[in-house]
Structure formats: C-alpha cells, structure tokens
Structure 1
Amino acid sequence: MSALTSRPLSVVLAGGGTGGHIEPMLALADALRRSPAAGTGLRITCLGTERGMETRLVPARGYDLRLIPPVPLPRKPTPDLLRVPGRVWRAVAETRALLDELHADVVVGFGGYVALPAYLAARRAGVPVVVHEQNALPGLANRIGARLAARVAVTTPGTPLHRGEHVGMPLRTAISSLDRAAMRAEARVAFGLDADRPTLLVFGGSQGAATLNRAAVGAADALGAAGIQVLHARGPKNTDVVAPGRTAGAAPYVVVDYLERMDLAYAAADLALCRSGAVTVAELSAVGLPGAFVPLPIGNGEQRRNALPVVEAGGGLLVEDAELTPAWIAEHLVPLLTDADALAGYARHAAAAGAPDADERLAGIVLDVAGAGT
C-alpha cells in the first residue's frame, strides 16, 4: 500500500512504440506483479499511443493501457527540436491529468515517443521517475529523462547516461529461465530438425532482414555439406526466400515466416545469425546462445554498440552488413558450428555476459523509489 493512504501502490510504465521499448516494459510489469508488493496492493498502468504496437501487446498480457498523444523526437539535437515544445505541451498536459487520476507513486520510462511527456508530466506532478535505457547509445528522451530521474538503469555497461546503473535488460521469464539443453530435443522435434546435428538459427527481427536472408540461403550448400542444419525465419513478407532442396538424409533447411516461440528457437540452436537490437543481444546472452551479430546499417550505430560487450567477452562474432556474404558464412560460421568445443566456449562467454535477473533488479529499484516518493 501507499505509505500515506490505504490505496494500492500505483506504478505507471511509459514504453510504447516499438517492441524494443514494449518488451522490457512488460517484463518489468510481470516482475512487479510477482513481487511481495503485489500482495499488499499494486496497480500497474502502461502508457502508449494509438499508433504503437502496445495497443495489441499490452492488453494481451493483461495490463491496463492508457493512451496519450505521441511526441516524435529527432534522434539527435537538430533544428527540428524547435518544433518539439508545441508537440509536447498537449501530451504533457494530458499525461499530467492521467498521473493525477491514477495517483501515481512512480513513473518508469523506457524511452521513445511516450517517455518524454511522461517524464515532464511526472516532474510537474512531483512524482519520482525511474529511467531504463535499452541501447548502448541512449536516445534523446532518455537523455532528458535521466536528468530528472531518481534512478537510471542501463542495459549495457558504460552506456553514456547521467548516473546510469548497470542492471541489464528485463526479459520474459520464458527466456530468462530457459534451460536450452533440457528443451533441445523438444525444440528440434517442433521445428522438424534432426536431433543431433549442429544447428544455425537465422532471424532478422519480426520482419526479417534481406541481407541475412540472401547470405544464409546462398550459403545453404556449404552449410549442408558440413552437416549443419538451419532454422531460418525469413519474415512474413519475404516469400521469395524458400528452403533449398535437400536429398533424403541431408541436413534439413527449415524456413518459417515468423518464430512465435523464441524460447524453442533458442533451445534448438547452437549459434544465431541475427541483427543486434538490444533485446536480441540481451536474450541471446541470457540463454547462453552465441550470436553472429550483423548490426543494422542505418541509425546512429547503436546496434554495433549493443553487440560489442558480448563480442569482446568472447560470446559472439560481429560482421558488418556489407560484409555478410555466403562466403563469410562458409569461412567463419561453418568451422565454428562443426567445432563442439569452440561452440561451448562461446556459449559460456555469452552466458557470463548476460543478466537474466534484470527484471527483478529493476523491479527492486522501482519499488524502492516508489516507497521513497510516497
């Protein structure tokens, strides 16, 4: 309960827009719901906008979603910032009214369109703020929010954010508690893979990635000749990506549109070829799955920075988008996938770089701040 009244503790989470903001927000919500504080009364409300994925994902996970106007922000300080105050004013006013209605005890922001008005409204309302930054290179909303926050949590050590504490990335328990070895047999059966072959998982996010698709299919003969099977999520719109032909008894090459069960995909795999979004890097590390990371070649370089700590710890490889070719896969991934000892070493180093308890750690910070602010 709130320290001053008998009402439930009210936690407001601001993390709409993309999955990179929404997934850690929901993982934190789940951790709060499991916490002892939930037994004495806890109200969790998520903020989002009508244009974001949160309109589908948040209600599906059983959480209350309240909508506010979005405030698009330039990724870096530019002349467009001069137009931001006008966009922010209405959003801050509506968000402030929501915080008053909800009797908010703490606001937790994850960056993006929703976070900035939430931070500014919380400051006006006298509600303490906690910031969580997913990427190694923070966005503008969290750079501002960090200056207003009681506590600042970051996913990657060394993230240049004011008073940042390394906590890690909050993840779903289906991922953070995954025992890959125990689920391997079930996972490989589920995808139609052989039980004992080295397995490469290829995925480029929910929509796929053309560079990864072309390189993996182009390397299919080299992979198959080495006895390596492939589970390849091509993306639902990439219907031109088809499984190469295989003779009876050859290593399978399985193509799917989308992976509904990432836990099964991770359990089936020995190595992943993937982008290096913050959630992807955190998930692979948490489950101890080595990755060959291919940073998205646009933006401000945060994907490369996301992957570097794991790569430098010996838990993965890094290849630039322009350098990923079938020949690169044949030269670098085929030898690794066919060397069990080397793979095991990469897996150990990947796991050592992970933070599977980040959701619990962030929940503890949030509850500490909420208690101090009531």
Structure 2
Amino acid sequence: MSSERGRSRSDRPLSVVVAGGGTAGHIEPALAVADAVTRLDPDARVTALGTTRGLETDLVPERGYPLELIPPVPLPRKPGLELAKTPARLLHAVSATRSVLSSVGADVVIGFGGYVSLPAYVAAQTHLRGRRRLPIVIHEANASAGIANKVGARVADRVMAAVAGSGLDAEVVGIPVRGVIAELDRDALRAKARHYFGLDEEAPTLLVFGGSQGARRLNDAVAGAAGALGAAGIGVLHAYGPKNSIDPRSPEGAPPYRGVGYLKRMDLAYAAADLVICRSGAMTVAEVSATGLPAVYVPLPHGNGEQRLNALPVVEAGGGLLVDDADLTVDWVSREVPALLGDPDRLAAMSAAATGTGHRDAAATVARAALDLAAEFRAGAHRGRLRGAFRSPGSDARR
C-alpha cells in the first residue's frame, strides 16, 4: 500500500469490492462480475469480501482475487436468542467492513446477498469519504429476494435482478455467469469435450449433476436406468458428488457411462452434452440456459419452493422440463430420456428456447454499472443515495 499512498487518488486504479459469500449461488455471480470488471478495466482492483463460514475461502483464491474476511451476520427468521444477538453482530461486522473499505480505498460496493452483504451495505452507506457515501450496486440472483438484499435495495444506487418478481424494484438483467460459459460454443467444442471425458463422439449424450447434497435422487434414478439408456445408444456423463457413489450397469457394447465425483471443467461438460438432468438452483439454471442446453430440472423438495421458481421462466418458454423430485424414478428416466434424445427436432426447439431465456451479458451489465458509479464517485460527481433503512436524522434524501 505504500506505493499507492504516494499517488493522488485520481491516478489510482478504481477499487471495486464484491460482497457475495456463503454459498456458490452468491459467490459465483460475484466472481463472474469480478472477471467482467477486470475485462472492462484491466487496471481496476477487485477485492472480495467474505467470512470463514462460506465457500469463498476456497473459490475466491482459486480465481486469483484477494479475499478480506469479516465476522458473519446470520439473519434468523424467527424470534429467539439468535435474533437478539443480531444487532451486536451486525455492528461488529460493519466496523470490520469499514476497515476493509478504507484499506483498499473502495470506490464502489457490489452486493449479491447472503451473510456478507448486509454489513457491506451498511458500511458503504455510513462510510464517509469527503462527505460522500460509497455507491452501492445490488444483484439478486434468486426468484425471491433474501433479507439482506431487501434491506440493501432501499439505499442502493442500482438494483438488478435475475428475473422479474423477485420482490425488489429492480432492472432484470439475468444472472452473471463466467465468461468461459457465456462465450461457450458447444458445437465447436463437442468433439474435444467428448474425447476429454472418454465419451462416444457420435452417441447422444446425457449430462447429470446435482451437487454434493442434492445428487442422491438423481444418482439413483439415472444410474438405475443405465441399462435402458445404454440399450437406446445413449452415452452418459454423470457427476454424482464427491461424497456419493454410483454403480451403473450398462449392456455390452453400449456407449460409455462415465461417472465422476466432481466436474472441474463444466464448460467441456456442457459442450459434450445434448441434454441435462440437474437441480434448479439459480446459478445452475443461468449457466445451462446461457449455453442453450435443453434440460430436465428437478427442484430440491425442501425449502420455500425457490428452485421451482428459478426454473419456471425457462420451462414456460419451452427450454426445459420440470419434474418433481418424487417423480424422477428409474422408470421415468428409462422411458422419457430415450424418447427425448431420439427426437432431434424437439431438442433443437428446446435449445433455441433455452438460448432465448439466457443472459450471456449479465456480468458485463453489472460490472459496467459499478465502474460507472465508481468513476463518478472518484470524480466527485456522485453524492450517494441516502434514504430508507440507513437514513440518519436530518439527512438529505437526494440521490
């Protein structure tokens, strides 16, 4: 930092802080936007904000970004002791976040929801630099906005969402996905991808994945149908989760059924496939639709029905099928998957519909908004937005 102190603030690279820790559904969009920021402004510095509880401690360093850790602030939905502890925890986390914002000379904060975001929003809104508050950009990936983003949206300068009806007054831009996925040419990579995984280069290919916790139903149904799939001449690439196992029994002479614990090259997995069976987390739906792959979405049966809502826009457009968890059986897979993969016209129509719902430019849209606000802030043109939850007595509520 010593070399930075010797330069005027206007000469320093723009400093962008992304806050999206916890689950991959928060972290992956944050990292996709971080990548887009560095593509749009190679000199910009991106710092990720996280906690020790989330996957960011692994994912962020792998992508080459500095990670600053703050205390987590869980947001209990029910009254009780944990809820009573929330104000003190929030104050502690906000104080730590202010220190991070000062140390990196932040010019804008981009939040994606979760444990990390609420302290980031409060810290940015109350972090004064030259009597100006840091600008805030929010992106909501889920079909139903979480508490942190609902609160933060009251003071944010730009609010964006993956889909309409999230509960926020937001611009719909889709979900930011990695550049390697957004720019994927499946046709050009198909032969390479199938060779990489040891798949039959000509056979119609099914891709199956469900994460580590959500894979069991998918594993049982698809591996149990290996005989029927093989008899129909279908190859399978099946990511069954690092804590699980499968025992598919394919007939002699059938295309390969490749089982792997984890897919390190999702771009090649998408390129190898003609059809996907997967869960419908927001990030999964975004990536699959961005690549134009037809999909069978099987929402997790627990929670608030969010996964079903994530898949509905694609399904209603004709880009996928929605199958209840209880209905995904060996018999269903044995009957429906060969029929679908044996109908090229239907697959092509589904692929076109999925492509039409995908948002390949979402990461760049969010990144550009943040960089514009950061440049305004640096130039002194941005006065901050002070209204709603964080307004102080007698404050100016102008943007």
Corresponding residue of 1:106: 108
Distance in 2 separating the partners of 1:192 and 1:63: 33
Corresponding residue of 1:186: 192
Asked if structure 1 preserves the Cα contact closer than 8 Å seen for 2:227 and 2:251, the reply is no
Please, which of 170, 182, 205 is the counterpart of residue 211 of structure 2? 205
Asked if structure 1 preserves the Cα contact closer than 8 Å seen for 2:177 and 2:363, the reply is yes
1:12 deviates by 0.8
Please, which of 352, 362, 366 is the counterpart of residue 348 of structure 1? 352
Corresponding residue of 1:253: 257
Q: Tell me the secondary structure at the aligned position of residue 94 of structure 1.
A: helix
Encode CA deviations 1:61-117: one digit per residue, 9 max, x unaligned. 11111110011123x465554431121110011111221222211111111111111
1:4 deviates by 6.5
Please, which of 49, 54, 57 is the counterpart of residue 55 of structure 1? 57
Distance in 1 separating the partners of 2:59 and 2:212: 14
1:305 deviates by 0.6
Matched, 1:219 2:225: yes
Please, which of 311, 314, 318 is the counterpart of residue 318 of structure 2? 314
Unmatched 5+ stretches in structure 2? 128-132, 379-399
Matched, 1:325 2:329: yes
Corresponding residue of 2:38: 33
Q: Tell me the secondary structure at the aligned position of residue 243 of structure 2.
A: coil
Please, which of 104, 116, 119 is the counterpart of residue 117 of structure 1? 119
Distance in 2 separating the partners of 1:245 and 1:42: 52
Matching residue's letter, 2:52: E
Matched, 1:138 2:145: yes
Q: Structure 2 matches for 1:220-235, cutoff 5 A?
A: 220-235=226-241
1:196 deviates by 1.4
Matching residue's letter, 1:349: A
Q: Which structure has the bigger radius of gyration? A: 2
1:3 deviates by 10
Matched, 1:338 2:345: no
The number of equivalent residue pairs is: 367
Asked if structure 2 preserves the Cα contact closer than 8 Å seen for 1:3 and 1:371, the reply is no
Please, which of 8, 11, 33 is the counterpart of residue 6 of structure 1? 11
Q: Tell me the secondary structure at the aligned position of residue 11 of structure 2.
A: coil
Matching residue's letter, 1:128: P
Distance in 2 separating the partners of 1:184 and 1:3: 50
Q: Tell me the secondary structure at the aligned position of residue 269 of structure 2.
A: helix
Please, which of 152, 158, 171 is the counterpart of residue 177 of structure 2? 171
Compared with structure 1, are the counterparts of its residues 211 and 199 closer, same or farther at alpha carbon in structure 2 (3 Å cutoff)?
Answer: same
Distance in 2 separating the partners of 1:119 and 1:82: 21
1:330 deviates by 2.8
Distance in 2 separating the partners of 1:198 and 1:332: 14
Encode CA deviations 1:244-285: one digit per residue, 9 max, x unaligned. 1431x2132111111110111111111100000111100011
Encode CA deviations 1:219-266: one digit per residue, 9 max, x unaligned. 222222222121111111113x1231431x213211111111011111
Matching residue's letter, 1:200: L
Distance in 1 separating the partners of 2:88 and 2:137: 25
Q: Tell me the secondary structure at the aligned position of residue 147 of structure 1.
A: coil
Distance in 1 separating the partners of 2:9 and 2:199: 58
RMSD of the TM alignment (CA)?
1.8
Distance in 2 separating the partners of 1:318 and 1:147: 34
Distance in 2 separating the partners of 1:333 and 1:78: 46
Q: Tell me the secondary structure at the aligned position of residue 46 of structure 1.
A: strand
Asked if structure 1 preserves the Cα contact closer than 8 Å seen for 2:49 and 2:67, the reply is yes
Q: Tell me the secondary structure at the aligned position of residue 153 of structure 2.
A: helix
| TM-score normalised by L of structure 1 | 0.94
Corresponding residue of 1:300: 304
Encode CA deviations 1:292-325: one digit per residue, 9 max, x unaligned. 0011111211111110000001000001111111
Asked if structure 2 preserves the Cα contact closer than 8 Å seen for 1:208 and 1:236, the reply is no
Distance in 1 separating the partners of 2:191 and 2:12: 48
Corresponding residue of 2:286: 282
1:212 deviates by 0.4
Matched, 1:369 2:376: no
Percentage of pairs with the same residue: 58
| TM-score normalised by L of structure 2 | 0.88
Unmatched 5+ stretches in structure 1? none
Corresponding residue of 1:85: 87
Matching residue's letter, 1:197: A
Distance in 2 separating the partners of 1:210 and 1:59: 29
